[in-house]
Amino acid sequence: MKKRSVKVLLIAGLTILSAGWATAQWTPFSTGATNGFIVEFAEHEGSVYACGFFTRIGGVQANHIARWNGATWEPVGGGLPDEGHSMLSFQGALHVAKYEWNADSNYLFRWNSGISTWSRLGSGFYLTTAEPGFSSNTPSLYALAEYEGQLIVAGEFDRIGADTISGIAAWNGVKWEPLAKGFAGYIEGGPEIMYPHSMVVHEGWLYAAGNFKTAGEVEVNGIARWNGSLWEAVGAGFNGAVYGIEIHNGELYAGGAFTQSGENELGFIAKWNGSEWINPGITIDYASTPPFPFAHTLRSINGSLYVLGGFDQCTDANGNDIPCGGILAFDGENWDGMDGGLAGEAEAIIPYGEGILVGGFFNQAGGVNVNNMALWGVLSSTIHTDAEIDVQVFPNPVQEALYLELPAGVADCEYVLYDAMGQPVREGRHSRHRPISTKGLAAGMYWLQVRTGTGVAMKKVMVGKAE
């Protein structure tokens, strides 16, 4: 966060039916109140996790982090002591970077789902200039990445344990170590705070972006790249903080609170053309300020680049206004406001089934009432409306083999087993008395779609751990 399908969609607690056409629309993801900003979604062991400024999500009490079990949100142990900002599944554990509001040390937290235990990775992170109670200038952690087999963390710190490490560090399996001299300073005209905010890996380079003047003593102005031994600038950088970076179709994009790079005018979103930062054909804004516009999160998903942040006005390269709010999609040629977008700000996004799940702080999506999260789903013409049929599944919970009891007179069927992310994990044809193997599947909730010549059924299946 900046400073300051159809039957399978039953997984989200709703049914969307369509026949003979394809479209996209906003729908609620879950019921129940969510009382704070959702900052990040991440996938870990086949489940969706959310973190942010909430203590209740989808009507469920959860301290700043929660797991979607396929039907409802559930707490992750005792949760986090402070608001979560970034998550990464790495070497079998979910790692979480969080905010810290005190001068005392912050830690990178690790959820060991196999034993349902939280632990802290390495020594504490400190900021020697911390101002407790201030909205920033405390040792918050913002970004996580995997680079060359190591876990990388970035944030607002200048010391880890007793070691001087500024803004970015790598976990060597035993302790945190620096990447050269790290980051220092801040972009002139912005907040007088050094903080890297986003990272992405591409073609052997680790890119990092945020609000910093130098990287390894090289002037970079908010964005730099690391080749494993040295930092270097990426063009002229920017005149404001960079909140998000992403690789889309092999090209680097950035978003933030900037309006210029060198002599090039920008509208809070930029594209690197190999030699300079240029406007990718879109400018965002607010109709009135404050609040001030920003692009926070950029994600490349299924051929589209999504930009999330705070804005309610969007203008393309031809001067055309695009109805928008907090989110945009780019297909490589055109920018899409996604049915008017959101009534509020967004920062979290993740693929879900045939669409995307979006989170933030908004109460409507495309005019539909929601609770800080919503699905943008694609209704596929390959799924048709059919009559519901009576199918029994057993045993349930299941460990290694699932059996079906089909309606009288039905000898076989087609089936698809979906995980909690809406992704198919088993599919094929089934005949009476033959099992469907669930061996090797992670424990958790799944959905089984069964289709015969007379109708369709969707059944919830719980897969347990093999004894």
Cis check: omega of the bond before 397, within 30 degrees of 0: yes
Q: What is the CATH number of the domain that holds 258?
A: 2.120.10.80
**Number of domains comprising the chain:** 2
274 with 147, same domain: the answer is yes
Tens-place pLDDT, residues 45-74:
999 999 999 999 999 999 999 999 888 999
Instruction: List the domain range (segments joined by +) for residue 414.
Output: 392-463
Which amino acid, one-letter code, is at 239? N
| Distance separating alpha carbons of residues 206 and 247, to the nearest angstrom | 12
273 with 396, same domain: the answer is no
The rounded percent of the chain whose pLDDT value lies above 70 is 91
Q: Of the ranges 99-103, 123-127, 238-242, 343-347, which one carries the lowest mean pLDDT score? A: 99-103
| Distance separating alpha carbons of residues 156 and 195, to the nearest angstrom | 5
Which amino acid, one-letter code, is at 439? K
Q: What is the CATH number of the domain that holds 445?
A: 2.60.40
Is 463 exposed, middle or buried (CB count within 10 Å of its CB: 0-12, 13-18, 19+)? buried
Residue 423 falls inside a structural domain = yes
Tens-place pLDDT, residues 430-460:
887 789 999 999 888 788 989 888 888 888 8
Bridge partners (DSSP) of residue 7 are none
| Distance separating alpha carbons of residues 250 and 169, to the nearest angstrom | 26
396 with 264, same domain: the answer is no
Residue 420 falls inside a structural domain = yes
**Where does a domain end: 246, 280, 314?**
280
Mean of per-residue pLDDT scores for the chain: 90
What are residue 253's phi and psi, to 5 degrees? -120, 155
Which amino acid, one-letter code, is at 9? L
Residue 147 falls inside a structural domain = yes
Residue 276 falls inside a structural domain = yes
Cis check: omega of the bond before 395, within 30 degrees of 0: yes
**Where does a domain end: 230, 261, 280?**
280
| Distance separating alpha carbons of residues 64 and 76, to the nearest angstrom | 9
Residue 398 falls inside a structural domain = yes
Residue 259 falls inside a structural domain = yes
Mapped onto helix, strand or coil, the DSSP state of residue 150 is strand
**Where does a domain end: 251, 280, 309?**
280
pLDDT on residue 447: 84
Residue 417 falls inside a structural domain = yes
**C-alpha neighbours within 13 Å on the C-beta side of residue 10:** 16
Residue 360 falls inside a structural domain = no
Per the structure block, which two tokens stand in for 372?
């800080």
Task: Give the residue-averaged pLDDT of 295-319.
Answer: 98
For the range 429-432, what are the long-range contacts, defined as Cβ-Cβ under 8 Å and sequence gap of 24 or more? Answer: 430/404, 432/404, 432/406
In this predicted structure, the answer to whether residue 15 has a pLDDT above a threshold of 90 is no
pLDDT on residue 314: 98
Residue 121 contacts residue 107 (beta carbons within 8 Å): yes
Tens-place pLDDT, residues 159-209:
999 999 999 999 999 999 999 999 999 999 888 999 999 999 999 999 999
| Distance separating alpha carbons of residues 234 and 221, to the nearest angstrom | 9
275 with 397, same domain: the answer is no
- Count of beta carbons in the 10 Å neighbourhood of residue 399: 15
343 contact partners, CB below 8 Å, separation of at least 6: 325, 326, 362, 363, 364, 365
